[in-house]
Structure 1
């Protein structure tokens, strides 16, 4: 164990650390301590997740916890390490990458299974390249809030336990202040970990990594009769299915990841690495949320195809283990059926349709064309449609469209379909599927501006709304309203 500058080890009541990733061997990581930050302070805390991790309440509220989750004090039993990986960035092979500003502390055993804790923004590592290893306040607040927003929406994601800040200066486009996010996930292994060992022809290490992932997270791959009992092809198929389902959920809720590089793709089908993300305001399949994405590679409407391209790269990396190219291609093939099936199912739920019928896809596609043509606010449309089905008049929904005659024609078709919607009231399903609150860019920006002044009430308020996004939250309607005009000028880039 390499403790940081403050060599005191915090016993942290109830924390029993395991270090299974560290057991893979030093080819996979570098052990090193976090770099301390001066005079840290709390920016945001997630008590609900702390309880899930079975953290002691008093300790989580203590100065010792603040120091530990800033990287200033080592937690007894943890082994801070930065892992090495490679990857394709914006479609181009970038070579060796790695945890350039993140350190894995280890994993905790929880009622939900093992959960890894990682500090993001904890200082330089051997994989930082030209970076400073730090994260800034604005991006850290956004990741903290969005992780929990996605969790509440039912979308597979890494979680965020807390954010700490420091007035230590960090240079980006301008001088900003430092922050550290404590991220939580069953594993932070990425497609890029496999690409790294395949590209360097370290096939023994590639097998060790694949066996670790299979035995820990995909044990059924060992007993499959598919692919002639090949567990590595079965792994590729399982990852493809999880990734397809996750991206279908992104598309249904209007989420743009913004930087779908292979090193940002989770082997568990989790949403990870919240950088230049955005929830759509107006519905536009061509929307690009990442100001750094000058060619629009990661536009909202391109995300499903990019995910498949990334899986193809994973398949190439696993080929030395799979053995036959035909097996690898066969393992990728289900993506082409899983994604459309999952997407249609999510969209049917948004329409309150409990069962599938012929013509549903045409109903969905015609609606999306209307939303695109009239640039309708995506989240507000679905919530208003839900209330209309619950008994409110259609006027508030119609007001969103320029071509009201076209919408009226669609609404008539939809109303006819609702007569055969299946068991239960369609509005009940719709109101549980179509959120009132999502983390729009302007809401995050408002919370960030307050946080810069050491007022963290905006972070706390947004967290409470986003953790219950389907509830009405009386008195908070402004957070569910249309974005202000200035919201379109917010630029979110890879710089954080």
Structure 2
């Protein structure tokens, strides 16, 4: 692999730290497709050595980044990579640059009272979710390699340790800029902004207000990312500013969850009883976090430029979300009555707790006339309550023209049949903890083609069983 470790040269931006090797590591998963894209060709023993921290290539320069963050609304002035290390920056055959980031690498100066370790449960959850979102075409970090161990790690209980090697175009967070702003070191902020422009968006150097253009792009990418989350029914769970990517990537998977029964106020994080990061709060939190970033950049970008970009956030998010919702309902044109059609649909879905993913997927089966398909009716506790809405939807489809087959093809291309429901992830975790990775392999195989029928996996596309509601996922996840 070709490495160019530019970030580690910023000696003021963190601390060089060697990983603490995992005891008795064993290789669990390798993302060979991603490795090929990055131009990385390693033997299994090398993957195991790197991801377990046993032996790193000499060209890697492990480095713990320092950053701050607003966590559940309160400011934490010094966070950083408390259990992770930036191992290096890979330059791909196509010339793009990707971070290699090792989670579970042991203690760093930013571990506070933590042990710097990761457990198999959370590491496998991140591996599965990041690949699931990638194949749903939602920007995300990627999982590259997962290693397990018998080394005990203490969370709510003793759990097997693990380490996850992940990759992303950049791991720069809003919190990086907050750290240097609030610690009285604003002179370092331009170097980080220049690094982001040089390595990711060099075209911005042609603009007279390049930092302003950068912030505007962050606003747009954040708005579009959250619109995609909302459309697919994804809940992040911990949208602290230190978990917000400057590139608009889904970053740091913890107590995430996909909606089962539709509940706009769904809280996926047991550590968030007040619902700050509930599903329907994610768009507003995105803006709040961007406002915190704007404050951190205020000494380097004109105030009116920052305000102008922030003022576009809601419009950009709603525009992206509205377009996605039209596509999810098989609509290609915009009509004045569409917002009311969407609103009434969501009202009925919430009232009757309709399964979110199954609803959109099976709605594509609705014909222009006759009874709705049995698979769709099976989702509805009171089918008669939907009679008027079905009539309005059919009338709206009639304005589009085209055939039902064409509409179904469009809807199937955007409405996944398979999403990573919590009970599916939990089942894979329990088996992995017993040494059986077959279920994880199955999930990765079907989630790599979430829009395809794959009838051999039909059981994975059903609404969640009742026992799934009792699953507890918290920040330790």
Residue 450 of structure 1 corresponds to which residue in structure 2? Answer: 431
CA distance in 1, matches of 2:232, 2:138: 9
Do the aligned partners of 1:116 and 1:187 also contact (CA within 8 Å) in 2?
Answer: yes
Do the aligned partners of 1:390 and 1:427 also contact (CA within 8 Å) in 2?
Answer: no
CA distance in 2, matches of 1:41, 1:390: 55
Shift of 1:400: 1.9
- The DSSP-based 3-state class of the residue aligned with 1:16 is coil
After TM superposition, list the pairs within 5 Å mapping 1:290-329 onto structure 2. 290-322=269-301, 324-329=302-307
Q: 1:242 aligns with which of 218, 221, 224?
A: 221
- The DSSP-based 3-state class of the residue aligned with 1:17 is coil
Residue 27 of structure 1 corresponds to which residue in structure 2? Answer: 12
Shift of 1:422: 6.6
After TM superposition, list the pairs within 5 Å mapping 1:188-267 onto structure 2. 188-224=171-207, 229-267=208-246
Matched, 1:433 2:414: yes
Cα 1:115–1:273 change in 2 (3 A) is same
Q: 2:49 aligns with which of 67, 76, 80?
A: 67
CA distance in 2, matches of 1:423, 1:184: 42
- Structure 1 gaps, min length 5: 1-14
- The DSSP-based 3-state class of the residue aligned with 1:168 is strand
After TM superposition, list the pairs within 5 Å mapping 1:357-396 onto structure 2. 357-388=335-366, 393-396=372-375
Matched, 1:37 2:22: yes
Residue 4 of structure 1 corresponds to which residue in structure 2? Answer: none
Cα 1:373–1:320 change in 2 (3 A) is same
Please give the TM-score of this superposition, normalised by the length of structure 2. 0.96
Residue 166 of structure 1 corresponds to which residue in structure 2? Answer: 149
Residue 330 of structure 1 corresponds to which residue in structure 2? Answer: 308
- Structure 2 gaps, min length 5: none
Residue 66 of structure 2 corresponds to which residue in structure 1? Answer: 84
CA distance in 1, matches of 2:444, 2:249: 20
Shift of 1:389: 5.2
Residue 132 of structure 1 corresponds to which residue in structure 2? Answer: 115
Do the aligned partners of 2:97 and 2:199 also contact (CA within 8 Å) in 1?
Answer: no
Is 286-295 or 45-54 further displaced after alignment? 45-54
Shift of 1:114: 1.3
Shift of 1:476: 1.3
1:110-130 per-residue CA deviation (whole Å, 9 max, x = no partner) reads 237211111111111100001
Do the aligned partners of 1:389 and 1:426 also contact (CA within 8 Å) in 2?
Answer: no
After TM superposition, list the pairs within 5 Å mapping 1:8-19 onto structure 2. 15-19=1-5
Shift of 1:269: 0.2
Residue 103 of structure 1 corresponds to which residue in structure 2? Answer: 85
Shift of 1:85: 0.3
1:299-337 per-residue CA deviation (whole Å, 9 max, x = no partner) reads 000000000000000000000101x43321112111110
1:83-129 per-residue CA deviation (whole Å, 9 max, x = no partner) reads 00001000110111000011111121223721111111111110000
Shift of 1:393: 4.5
Instruction: Give the aligned CA root-mean-square deviation in angstroms.
Output: 1.7
After TM superposition, list the pairs within 5 Å mapping 1:340-355 onto structure 2. 340-355=318-333
CA distance in 2, matches of 1:215, 1:121: 29
Residue 390 of structure 2 corresponds to which residue in structure 1? Answer: 411
Please give the TM-score of this superposition, normalised by the length of structure 1. 0.92
After TM superposition, list the pairs within 5 Å mapping 1:440-479 onto structure 2. 440-479=421-460
Residue 179 of structure 1 corresponds to which residue in structure 2? Answer: 162
After TM superposition, list the pairs within 5 Å mapping 1:42-57 onto structure 2. 42-56=27-41
Shift of 1:170: 0.2
- The DSSP-based 3-state class of the residue aligned with 1:447 is helix
CA distance in 1, matches of 2:221, 2:275: 25
Matched, 1:279 2:246: no
